[in-house]
Amino acid sequence: MAFKDTGKTPMEPEVAIHQIRITLTSCNVKFLEEVCADLMRGAKKGLKVKEPVRMPTKTLRITARKTPCGEGSKTWDHFQMRTHKQLITLHSPSEIAKQITSISTSLG
């Protein structure tokens, strides 16, 4: 039994490329920008990456009375917490995305 030589080299198996969306959320904008820059630096090495998209800031507002018993002048405290969010889109195989997202960051 003889095999025909077609002149073609065997093809390597194709790696599936996934669209991966990473959502970063923080109350500290400076820390969020640092982590986002680290991810972008790690992902720029031969991958298709979209720049971070800044999502709308959510504000949690809480109004509370200053006095614990409810007597006295009616004075109020106003508190708010802002949550900032960014979205990064990667087009890469899942193994490479795991390497990129396994960066260690100092909690700010």
Q: Name the phi and psi angles at 104, rounded to 5.
A: -100, 135
Distance (Å, whole) CA 103 – CA 105: 6
- 26: phi then psi, degrees, rounded to nearest 5: -160, 160
Coil/strand/helix, residue 50: strand
Q: pLDDT tens digit string along 55-107?
A: 999 999 999 999 888 888 889 999 999 999 999 888 888 777 777 777 776 66
SS3 state at 28? coil
- Do the bridges between strand 18-26 and strand 48-65 make them parallel or antiparallel, or are there none, so unpaired? unpaired
Confidence of residue 3 (pLDDT cuts 50, 70, 90): low
